[in-house]
Amino acid sequence: MKYQKPKGTADIIPPFSKEWQFVEQAARDTFNLYNYSEIRTPIFESFDIFSRSAGDTSDIVTKEMYDFEDKGGRHIALRPEGTAGVVRAFVENKLYGPEHQKPVKVYYMGPMFRYERPQSGRLREFHQIGVEAFGSASPRMDVETIAMAIDLLKKVDVTKVKVVINSLGDAQSRSDYREALINYLEPHFGELSRDSQERLHKNPLRVLDSKDKNDQEIVKNAPSILEYLTEDAQQHFATVKSALGDLGIDYVIDSNMVRGLDYYNHTIFEIMVNNSSLGHGDVTICAGGRYNGLVEELGGPECPGVGFGLGVERLLLLLGEDAKQEIQKSDLDVYVVGIGDDARSYTQKLVQLFRENGVKADQDYLERKPKGQFKSADKLKAKFVATIGDEEISNNSFKLKNMLTGVEEDINNSDFESKIKEILG
Ligand code: ATP
Ligand code: MG
Protein backbone atom coordinates (compact mmCIF):
# COMPACT_ATOMS: atom_id res chain seq x y z
CA MET A 1 0.00 0.00 0.00
CA LYS A 2 1.34 3.38 -1.01
CA TYR A 3 0.02 5.51 1.84
CA GLN A 4 -0.39 4.34 5.40
CA LYS A 5 -1.38 6.06 8.58
CA PRO A 6 1.46 7.06 10.90
CA LYS A 7 2.64 4.41 13.37
CA GLY A 8 0.60 4.45 16.58
CA THR A 9 -2.46 6.12 15.08
CA ALA A 10 -5.82 4.60 14.17
CA ASP A 11 -8.68 5.41 11.85
CA ILE A 12 -12.03 5.38 13.53
CA ILE A 13 -14.30 4.02 10.84
CA PRO A 14 -17.95 2.95 10.65
CA PRO A 15 -19.45 0.95 12.20
CA PHE A 16 -16.98 1.30 15.10
CA SER A 17 -17.37 5.06 15.20
CA LYS A 18 -20.78 4.33 16.73
CA GLU A 19 -19.05 2.84 19.75
CA TRP A 20 -17.09 6.07 20.12
CA GLN A 21 -20.24 8.13 19.89
CA PHE A 22 -21.88 5.90 22.47
CA VAL A 23 -19.06 6.40 24.96
CA GLU A 24 -18.85 10.12 24.28
CA GLN A 25 -22.59 10.53 24.71
CA ALA A 26 -22.51 8.57 27.95
CA ALA A 27 -19.77 10.93 29.15
CA ARG A 28 -21.70 14.06 28.15
CA ASP A 29 -24.84 12.74 29.86
CA THR A 30 -22.98 11.80 33.02
CA PHE A 31 -21.05 15.06 33.30
CA ASN A 32 -24.18 17.05 32.65
CA LEU A 33 -25.87 15.36 35.62
CA TYR A 34 -22.97 16.51 37.80
CA ASN A 35 -23.29 20.03 36.41
CA TYR A 36 -20.06 20.11 34.39
CA SER A 37 -19.83 22.14 31.16
CA GLU A 38 -17.71 21.46 28.11
CA ILE A 39 -14.45 23.28 27.45
CA ARG A 40 -12.48 23.02 24.20
CA THR A 41 -8.85 24.05 24.06
CA PRO A 42 -6.23 23.86 21.28
CA ILE A 43 -4.66 20.57 20.23
CA PHE A 44 -1.26 22.26 20.39
CA GLU A 45 0.12 24.61 23.01
CA SER A 46 3.44 26.17 23.94
CA PHE A 47 5.85 23.44 24.98
CA ASP A 48 6.49 25.31 28.25
CA ILE A 49 2.94 24.74 29.45
CA PHE A 50 3.53 21.01 29.57
CA SER A 51 7.09 21.10 30.90
CA ARG A 52 5.93 23.54 33.57
CA SER A 53 2.95 21.46 34.64
CA ALA A 54 3.79 17.80 34.07
CA GLY A 55 7.33 18.39 35.32
CA ASP A 56 10.76 18.29 33.69
CA THR A 57 11.45 14.77 34.93
CA SER A 58 8.14 13.20 33.91
CA ASP A 59 8.19 10.56 31.17
CA ILE A 60 5.73 12.66 29.24
CA VAL A 61 8.10 15.61 29.00
CA THR A 62 11.43 13.80 28.77
CA LYS A 63 10.49 11.07 26.33
CA GLU A 64 7.00 11.24 24.95
CA MET A 65 6.41 14.76 23.72
CA TYR A 66 5.56 15.53 20.11
CA ASP A 67 7.22 18.92 19.96
CA PHE A 68 8.56 21.08 17.17
CA GLU A 69 9.54 24.56 16.25
CA ASP A 70 6.92 26.27 14.11
CA LYS A 71 7.73 28.58 11.21
CA GLY A 72 7.76 31.51 13.60
CA GLY A 73 10.37 29.87 15.80
CA ARG A 74 7.97 29.04 18.62
CA HIS A 75 8.47 25.84 20.61
CA ILE A 76 5.15 24.04 20.20
CA ALA A 77 3.91 20.68 21.47
CA LEU A 78 0.93 18.54 20.58
CA ARG A 79 -0.88 18.14 23.88
CA PRO A 80 0.07 14.91 25.70
CA GLU A 81 -2.74 15.35 28.23
CA GLY A 82 -5.66 17.64 28.85
CA THR A 83 -5.18 19.31 32.21
CA ALA A 84 -2.35 21.72 31.37
CA GLY A 85 -4.20 23.29 28.45
CA VAL A 86 -7.41 23.59 30.45
CA VAL A 87 -5.55 25.29 33.30
CA ARG A 88 -3.86 27.62 30.81
CA ALA A 89 -7.29 28.50 29.40
CA PHE A 90 -8.73 28.90 32.91
CA VAL A 91 -6.03 31.46 33.70
CA GLU A 92 -5.97 33.21 30.34
CA ASN A 93 -9.76 33.65 30.30
CA LYS A 94 -9.80 34.68 33.96
CA LEU A 95 -12.33 32.03 34.85
CA TYR A 96 -11.17 32.49 38.45
CA GLY A 97 -12.84 35.92 38.43
CA PRO A 98 -15.80 36.72 40.68
CA GLU A 99 -18.28 36.66 37.76
CA HIS A 100 -17.74 32.92 37.40
CA GLN A 101 -19.62 30.65 39.79
CA LYS A 102 -17.26 28.47 41.81
CA PRO A 103 -16.36 25.76 41.54
CA VAL A 104 -15.81 26.04 37.79
CA LYS A 105 -16.53 22.50 36.59
CA VAL A 106 -15.52 21.58 33.04
CA TYR A 107 -15.02 18.51 30.89
CA TYR A 108 -13.27 17.82 27.59
CA MET A 109 -12.78 14.99 25.16
CA GLY A 110 -10.34 14.68 22.32
CA PRO A 111 -7.01 13.46 20.96
CA MET A 112 -3.76 13.47 22.95
CA PHE A 113 -0.29 12.67 21.61
CA ARG A 114 2.57 10.77 23.15
CA TYR A 115 5.58 9.26 21.46
CA GLU A 116 5.29 5.78 22.93
CA ARG A 117 5.85 2.21 21.82
CA PRO A 118 2.47 1.32 20.33
CA GLN A 119 0.67 -1.78 21.59
CA SER A 120 -2.87 -2.76 22.43
CA GLY A 121 -4.46 0.11 24.38
CA ARG A 122 -1.36 2.27 23.89
CA LEU A 123 -1.14 4.57 20.89
CA ARG A 124 0.71 7.69 19.83
CA GLU A 125 -2.51 9.47 19.08
CA PHE A 126 -5.04 8.42 21.67
CA HIS A 127 -8.14 9.98 23.18
CA GLN A 128 -9.01 11.11 26.63
CA ILE A 129 -12.20 12.16 28.27
CA GLY A 130 -11.43 14.32 31.26
CA VAL A 131 -12.84 16.69 33.85
CA GLU A 132 -11.44 19.51 35.97
CA ALA A 133 -13.02 21.34 38.89
CA PHE A 134 -11.46 24.64 39.98
CA GLY A 135 -11.95 26.71 43.09
CA SER A 136 -12.82 24.12 45.72
CA ALA A 137 -10.28 22.68 48.14
CA SER A 138 -12.90 20.41 49.67
CA PRO A 139 -12.04 16.71 49.85
CA ARG A 140 -15.67 16.15 48.88
CA MET A 141 -14.84 17.63 45.49
CA ASP A 142 -12.20 14.92 45.05
CA VAL A 143 -14.83 12.35 45.91
CA GLU A 144 -17.32 13.83 43.45
CA THR A 145 -14.87 13.35 40.58
CA ILE A 146 -14.19 9.75 41.60
CA ALA A 147 -17.91 9.03 41.90
CA MET A 148 -18.50 10.61 38.51
CA ALA A 149 -15.84 8.46 36.83
CA ILE A 150 -17.36 5.33 38.32
CA ASP A 151 -20.81 6.45 37.24
CA LEU A 152 -19.61 6.95 33.68
CA LEU A 153 -18.04 3.51 33.63
CA LYS A 154 -21.29 2.05 34.94
CA LYS A 155 -23.20 3.71 32.10
CA VAL A 156 -21.06 1.86 29.58
CA ASP A 157 -21.41 -1.32 31.61
CA VAL A 158 -17.91 -1.47 33.06
CA THR A 159 -18.66 -2.37 36.65
CA LYS A 160 -15.83 -4.56 37.92
CA VAL A 161 -13.40 -1.80 38.74
CA LYS A 162 -10.80 -1.27 41.41
CA VAL A 163 -10.42 2.22 42.83
CA VAL A 164 -6.93 2.90 44.15
CA ILE A 165 -6.25 6.05 46.14
CA ASN A 166 -3.32 7.70 47.83
CA SER A 167 -2.43 11.09 49.24
CA LEU A 168 0.64 13.08 48.29
CA GLY A 169 -0.15 15.59 50.99
CA ASP A 170 0.66 19.27 50.93
CA ALA A 171 3.99 21.01 50.32
CA GLN A 172 5.24 20.39 53.85
CA SER A 173 4.31 16.69 53.78
CA ARG A 174 6.00 16.34 50.47
CA SER A 175 9.27 17.94 51.42
CA ASP A 176 9.44 15.90 54.65
CA TYR A 177 8.76 12.74 52.70
CA ARG A 178 11.19 13.68 49.97
CA GLU A 179 13.98 13.75 52.49
CA ALA A 180 12.99 10.41 54.01
CA LEU A 181 12.74 8.82 50.59
CA ILE A 182 16.16 10.07 49.50
CA ASN A 183 17.63 8.70 52.71
CA TYR A 184 16.06 5.34 52.00
CA LEU A 185 17.04 5.20 48.33
CA GLU A 186 20.61 6.47 48.56
CA PRO A 187 22.09 3.22 49.87
CA HIS A 188 20.46 1.46 46.87
CA PHE A 189 21.82 3.96 44.36
CA GLY A 190 24.04 1.44 42.55
CA GLU A 191 21.14 -1.00 42.00
CA LEU A 192 18.71 1.56 40.61
CA SER A 193 17.98 1.97 36.91
CA ARG A 194 19.65 4.84 35.05
CA ASP A 195 16.39 6.82 34.97
CA SER A 196 15.85 6.40 38.68
CA GLN A 197 19.45 7.32 39.50
CA GLU A 198 18.95 10.53 37.59
CA ARG A 199 15.67 11.26 39.35
CA LEU A 200 16.79 10.36 42.84
CA HIS A 201 17.77 13.91 43.74
CA LYS A 202 15.78 15.86 41.17
CA ASN A 203 12.47 14.22 41.94
CA PRO A 204 12.68 11.11 44.14
CA LEU A 205 8.90 10.49 44.07
CA ARG A 206 9.34 9.65 40.40
CA VAL A 207 11.38 6.61 41.45
CA LEU A 208 8.24 5.17 43.07
CA ASP A 209 6.59 5.31 39.66
CA SER A 210 9.40 3.45 37.87
CA LYS A 211 8.36 0.69 35.47
CA ASP A 212 11.71 -1.07 36.03
CA LYS A 213 11.22 -4.44 37.81
CA ASN A 214 14.31 -4.09 39.97
CA ASP A 215 13.41 -0.53 40.97
CA GLN A 216 9.99 -1.77 41.93
CA GLU A 217 11.53 -4.39 44.26
CA ILE A 218 13.61 -1.72 46.00
CA VAL A 219 10.71 0.67 46.25
CA LYS A 220 8.50 -1.94 47.91
CA ASN A 221 10.15 -1.32 51.27
CA ALA A 222 10.39 2.44 50.93
CA PRO A 223 8.83 4.57 53.66
CA SER A 224 5.17 5.45 53.08
CA ILE A 225 4.19 9.00 52.27
CA LEU A 226 1.14 8.53 54.47
CA GLU A 227 3.43 8.55 57.51
CA TYR A 228 4.61 12.02 56.57
CA LEU A 229 1.30 13.78 56.05
CA THR A 230 0.80 16.96 58.04
CA GLU A 231 -2.23 17.31 60.27
CA ASP A 232 -4.12 19.15 57.51
CA ALA A 233 -3.21 16.63 54.86
CA GLN A 234 -4.25 13.76 57.12
CA GLN A 235 -7.57 15.47 57.73
CA HIS A 236 -8.14 15.94 53.99
CA PHE A 237 -7.38 12.31 53.26
CA ALA A 238 -9.55 11.10 56.15
CA THR A 239 -12.53 12.99 54.77
CA VAL A 240 -11.93 11.57 51.29
CA LYS A 241 -11.99 8.07 52.73
CA SER A 242 -15.10 8.60 54.84
CA ALA A 243 -16.96 10.33 51.98
CA LEU A 244 -16.10 7.44 49.64
CA GLY A 245 -17.47 5.15 52.30
CA ASP A 246 -20.65 7.22 52.58
CA LEU A 247 -21.21 6.82 48.84
CA GLY A 248 -20.58 3.09 49.01
CA ILE A 249 -17.46 3.28 46.85
CA ASP A 250 -14.96 0.53 47.60
CA TYR A 251 -11.32 1.51 47.39
CA VAL A 252 -7.84 0.36 48.26
CA ILE A 253 -4.94 2.54 49.36
CA ASP A 254 -1.59 2.23 47.61
CA SER A 255 0.92 4.45 49.36
CA ASN A 256 3.48 3.89 46.59
CA MET A 257 1.25 5.28 43.89
CA VAL A 258 2.48 8.73 42.82
CA ARG A 259 1.12 9.16 39.25
CA GLY A 260 3.20 10.20 36.28
CA LEU A 261 2.64 13.95 36.49
CA ASP A 262 4.35 16.28 38.92
CA TYR A 263 1.48 18.61 39.57
CA TYR A 264 -0.54 16.47 41.94
CA ASN A 265 -0.96 16.93 45.68
CA HIS A 266 -3.35 15.55 48.27
CA THR A 267 -5.65 12.94 46.76
CA ILE A 268 -4.60 10.97 43.71
CA PHE A 269 -6.52 8.03 42.32
CA GLU A 270 -6.58 5.44 39.59
CA ILE A 271 -9.44 3.30 38.42
CA MET A 272 -8.21 -0.08 37.30
CA VAL A 273 -9.74 -2.99 35.51
CA ASN A 274 -8.61 -6.58 35.39
CA ASN A 275 -9.76 -7.74 32.00
CA SER A 276 -7.89 -9.94 29.54
CA SER A 277 -8.74 -7.64 26.64
CA LEU A 278 -6.42 -5.04 28.19
CA GLY A 279 -3.58 -7.43 28.96
CA HIS A 280 -2.37 -9.04 32.19
CA GLY A 281 -3.30 -7.86 35.66
CA ASP A 282 -4.79 -4.56 36.68
CA VAL A 283 -4.73 -1.92 33.96
CA THR A 284 -5.47 1.72 34.65
CA ILE A 285 -8.17 3.26 32.50
CA CYS A 286 -8.81 6.43 34.47
CA ALA A 287 -6.44 8.47 36.57
CA GLY A 288 -6.54 11.78 38.34
CA GLY A 289 -6.13 13.79 41.46
CA ARG A 290 -5.82 17.15 43.09
CA TYR A 291 -3.45 19.86 41.84
CA ASN A 292 -3.69 22.85 44.13
CA GLY A 293 -0.53 24.57 42.90
CA LEU A 294 -1.03 24.27 39.17
CA VAL A 295 -3.15 27.35 38.48
CA GLU A 296 -0.51 29.48 40.20
CA GLU A 297 2.27 27.65 38.41
CA LEU A 298 0.74 28.69 35.10
CA GLY A 299 0.41 32.33 36.09
CA GLY A 300 -2.98 32.44 37.79
CA PRO A 301 -3.94 33.21 41.38
CA GLU A 302 -3.89 30.62 44.12
CA CYS A 303 -6.75 28.33 43.14
CA PRO A 304 -7.26 24.66 43.98
CA GLY A 305 -8.19 22.12 41.34
CA VAL A 306 -8.98 18.45 40.92
CA GLY A 307 -9.72 16.27 37.91
CA PHE A 308 -9.20 13.05 36.00
CA GLY A 309 -8.43 11.74 32.54
CA LEU A 310 -9.86 8.55 31.12
CA GLY A 311 -8.43 6.66 28.15
CA VAL A 312 -11.12 6.13 25.52
CA GLU A 313 -9.29 3.41 23.56
CA ARG A 314 -8.84 1.37 26.72
CA LEU A 315 -12.45 1.88 27.68
CA LEU A 316 -13.62 0.72 24.25
CA LEU A 317 -11.62 -2.49 24.63
CA LEU A 318 -13.80 -3.22 27.67
CA LEU A 319 -17.16 -2.94 25.94
CA GLY A 320 -18.96 -6.26 26.16
CA GLU A 321 -20.47 -8.09 23.18
CA ASP A 322 -24.02 -7.31 24.33
CA ALA A 323 -23.26 -3.60 24.56
CA LYS A 324 -21.66 -3.63 21.12
CA GLN A 325 -24.63 -5.39 19.55
CA GLU A 326 -26.98 -2.91 21.16
CA ILE A 327 -24.90 -0.02 19.84
CA GLN A 328 -24.80 -1.46 16.34
CA LYS A 329 -28.51 -2.26 16.20
CA SER A 330 -29.94 -0.88 12.98
CA ASP A 331 -31.84 2.32 13.39
CA LEU A 332 -32.89 2.94 9.80
CA ASP A 333 -36.62 3.57 9.90
CA VAL A 334 -37.53 3.46 6.24
CA TYR A 335 -35.95 2.39 2.99
CA VAL A 336 -37.74 3.75 -0.06
CA VAL A 337 -37.89 1.53 -3.14
CA GLY A 338 -38.80 2.83 -6.61
CA ILE A 339 -40.23 0.51 -9.26
CA GLY A 340 -39.81 1.66 -12.84
CA ASP A 341 -37.81 4.55 -14.31
CA ASP A 342 -40.47 7.14 -13.58
CA ALA A 343 -40.29 6.42 -9.84
CA ARG A 344 -36.90 8.02 -9.23
CA SER A 345 -38.01 11.58 -8.81
CA TYR A 346 -40.88 10.44 -6.56
CA THR A 347 -38.67 8.33 -4.30
CA GLN A 348 -36.23 11.14 -3.74
CA LYS A 349 -39.07 13.48 -2.77
CA LEU A 350 -40.52 10.87 -0.43
CA VAL A 351 -37.19 10.14 1.24
CA GLN A 352 -36.79 13.85 1.81
CA LEU A 353 -40.30 14.12 3.25
CA PHE A 354 -39.56 11.33 5.72
CA ARG A 355 -36.39 13.07 6.86
CA GLU A 356 -38.12 16.41 7.24
CA ASN A 357 -40.55 14.64 9.57
CA GLY A 358 -37.76 13.25 11.72
CA VAL A 359 -37.79 9.77 10.20
CA LYS A 360 -34.41 8.25 9.35
CA ALA A 361 -34.73 7.24 5.70
CA ASP A 362 -32.61 6.25 2.73
CA GLN A 363 -32.92 5.10 -0.86
CA ASP A 364 -30.86 3.61 -3.68
CA TYR A 365 -28.32 5.74 -5.52
CA LEU A 366 -26.73 3.01 -7.63
CA GLU A 367 -29.53 2.60 -10.19
CA ARG A 368 -30.36 -0.83 -8.78
CA LYS A 369 -33.33 -2.81 -10.06
CA PRO A 370 -36.22 -3.25 -7.54
CA LYS A 371 -34.85 -6.64 -6.50
CA GLY A 372 -31.51 -5.03 -5.59
CA GLN A 373 -33.26 -2.22 -3.76
CA PHE A 374 -35.22 -4.68 -1.61
CA LYS A 375 -31.96 -6.46 -0.89
CA SER A 376 -30.43 -3.18 0.28
CA ALA A 377 -33.41 -2.55 2.55
CA ASP A 378 -32.85 -6.01 3.98
CA LYS A 379 -29.12 -5.51 4.49
CA LEU A 380 -29.71 -2.17 6.19
CA LYS A 381 -32.34 -3.86 8.39
CA ALA A 382 -34.84 -1.12 7.65
CA LYS A 383 -37.86 -1.30 9.94
CA PHE A 384 -40.19 -0.25 7.12
CA VAL A 385 -39.98 -0.40 3.35
CA ALA A 386 -41.86 2.19 1.31
CA THR A 387 -42.57 1.36 -2.32
CA ILE A 388 -43.54 3.59 -5.20
CA GLY A 389 -44.56 2.11 -8.57
CA ASP A 390 -46.66 3.39 -11.50
CA GLU A 391 -49.90 2.78 -9.63
CA GLU A 392 -48.75 4.73 -6.57
CA ILE A 393 -47.51 7.56 -8.78
CA SER A 394 -50.90 7.95 -10.39
CA ASN A 395 -52.69 7.68 -7.00
CA ASN A 396 -50.32 10.11 -5.34
CA SER A 397 -49.54 7.49 -2.70
CA PHE A 398 -46.99 4.92 -1.59
CA LYS A 399 -47.01 1.50 0.09
CA LEU A 400 -45.48 1.14 3.53
CA LYS A 401 -44.61 -2.31 4.82
CA ASN A 402 -43.72 -3.09 8.41
CA MET A 403 -40.84 -5.55 8.01
CA LEU A 404 -41.36 -7.02 11.46
CA THR A 405 -45.08 -7.84 11.14
CA GLY A 406 -45.29 -8.03 7.35
CA VAL A 407 -48.33 -5.72 7.40
CA GLU A 408 -48.52 -3.38 4.43
CA GLU A 409 -50.58 -0.20 4.13
CA ASP A 410 -51.41 2.18 1.31
CA ILE A 411 -50.69 5.71 2.37
CA ASN A 412 -51.95 8.70 0.51
CA ASN A 413 -49.55 11.61 0.38
CA SER A 414 -52.29 13.96 1.57
CA ASP A 415 -52.40 12.32 4.99
CA PHE A 416 -48.68 11.61 5.14
CA GLU A 417 -47.97 13.38 8.40
CA SER A 418 -50.76 11.95 10.53
CA LYS A 419 -50.21 8.46 9.15
CA ILE A 420 -46.47 8.56 9.64
CA LYS A 421 -46.83 9.68 13.25
CA GLU A 422 -49.33 6.89 13.84
CA ILE A 423 -47.25 4.17 12.20
CA LEU A 424 -43.75 5.09 13.25
CA GLY A 425 -44.80 6.38 16.65
P1 ATP B 1 0.54 4.45 31.69
O2 ATP B 1 1.21 4.20 32.99
O3 ATP B 1 -0.36 3.32 31.22
O4 ATP B 1 1.47 4.95 30.63
P5 ATP B 1 -0.14 7.14 32.32
O6 ATP B 1 0.10 7.28 33.76
O7 ATP B 1 0.89 7.63 31.37
O8 ATP B 1 -0.51 5.63 31.97
P9 ATP B 1 -2.16 9.17 32.33
O10 ATP B 1 -1.24 10.21 31.86
O11 ATP B 1 -2.59 9.18 33.72
O12 ATP B 1 -1.56 7.75 31.97
O13 ATP B 1 -3.46 9.12 31.38
C14 ATP B 1 -4.73 8.69 31.85
C15 ATP B 1 -5.27 7.56 31.00
O16 ATP B 1 -5.08 7.84 29.62
C17 ATP B 1 -4.57 6.24 31.20
O18 ATP B 1 -5.08 5.58 32.31
C19 ATP B 1 -4.90 5.52 29.92
O20 ATP B 1 -6.21 4.99 29.97
C21 ATP B 1 -4.87 6.63 28.92
N22 ATP B 1 -3.58 6.65 28.20
C23 ATP B 1 -2.41 7.20 28.58
N24 ATP B 1 -1.47 7.04 27.64
C25 ATP B 1 -2.06 6.37 26.62
C26 ATP B 1 -1.64 5.92 25.33
N27 ATP B 1 -0.41 6.12 24.90
N28 ATP B 1 -2.54 5.27 24.54
C29 ATP B 1 -3.81 5.05 24.96
N30 ATP B 1 -4.27 5.46 26.14
C31 ATP B 1 -3.42 6.12 26.97
MG1 MG C 1 2.38 6.74 30.21
* CA–centroid distance, residue 378 to ligand 1 (Å): 42
* CA–centroid distance, residue 361 to ligand 2 (Å): 44
How much is the mean pLDDT over the chain? 94
Q: Which of 122, 156, 286 to mutate to test the pocket of ligand 1 (most atoms within 8 A of CB)?
A: 122
pLDDT exceeds cutoff 80 at 56: no
Please state whether 266 falls in left (phi above 0), alpha (psi between -120 and 50) or beta: left
Backbone angles phi, psi at 59, to 5 degrees: -55, -40
Q: Which of 20, 284, 310 to mutate to test the pocket of ligand 1 (most atoms within 8 A of CB)?
A: 284
* CA–centroid distance, residue 366 to ligand 2 (Å): 48
Closest-lying ligand to the alpha carbon of 259?
1
For the ranges 222-231, 261-270, 294-303, which has the lowest average pLDDT?
Answer: 261-270
Task: Show the CA angle centred on residue 46, arms to residues 41 and 51, nearest 5°.
Answer: 105
Tell me the pLDDT tens digit for each residue of 310-365. 999 999 999 988 889 999 987 899 999 999 989 999 999 999 999 999 999 999 99
pLDDT exceeds cutoff 80 at 424: no
The predicted pLDDT at position 260 comes to 66
What number is the average pLDDT over the span 164-181?
94
DSSP 6: P
Higher pLDDT pick, 415 / 99? 99
What number is the average pLDDT over the span 83-96?
98
263 labelled binding-site residue: yes
Q: Which domains, ranges and CATH numbers included, belong to the chain?
A: 17-160+253-324 (3.30.930.10), 330-424 (3.40.50.800)
What number is the average pLDDT over the span 271-282?
90
Q: What DSSP assignment string belongs to 273-284?
A: EE-GGG-SSEEE
* CA–centroid distance, residue 43 to ligand 2 (Å): 18
The predicted pLDDT at position 363 comes to 98
Using the atom order of ligand 1, give the atom closest to the CA of residue 315.
Answer: 20
Q: Which of 53, 117, 270, 314 to mutate to test the pocket of ligand 1 (most atoms within 8 A of CB)?
A: 314
The predicted pLDDT at position 276 comes to 87
Q: In 10 A of CB 282, how many CB atoms?
A: 16
Ligand 1 binding site (Cβ under 6 Å of any ligand atom): 81, 114, 116, 121-123, 126, 128, 260, 284-287, 309, 311, 313-314
Number of H helices, E strands in the chain: 17, 16
pLDDT exceeds cutoff 80 at 422: no
pLDDT exceeds cutoff 90 at 58: no
Select from 308, 284, 315, 309 the least CA-distant residue to 162.
Answer: 284
83 labelled binding-site residue: yes
Nearest residue (by CA) to ligand 1, atom 6, is: 260
pLDDT band at 55 (very low <50, low <70, confident <90, very high): confident
Tell me the pLDDT tens digit for each residue of 184-235. 999 999 999 999 999 999 889 989 989 899 999 999 999 999 999 999 999 9
**Where are the strands (E) in 329-412, listed by range?**
334-338, 361-363, 384-388, 397-402, 408-412
In DSSP terms, 109 is beta-bridged to 129
What are the respective helix, strand and coil percentages of the chain, to the nearest 5? 45, 20, 35
- Contacts (Cβ under 8 Å, ≥6 apart) of 391: none
pLDDT above 90: percentage of residues in the chain: 86
Backbone angles phi, psi at 308, to 5 degrees: -145, 160
Using the atom order of ligand 1, give the atom closest to the CA of residue 59.
Answer: 7
For the ranges 35-44, 56-65, 110-119, which has the lowest average pLDDT?
Answer: 56-65
The predicted pLDDT at position 61 comes to 87
**Dist. CA 224–CA 254, nearest whole Å:** 9
The predicted pLDDT at position 418 comes to 87
pLDDT exceeds cutoff 90 at 128: yes
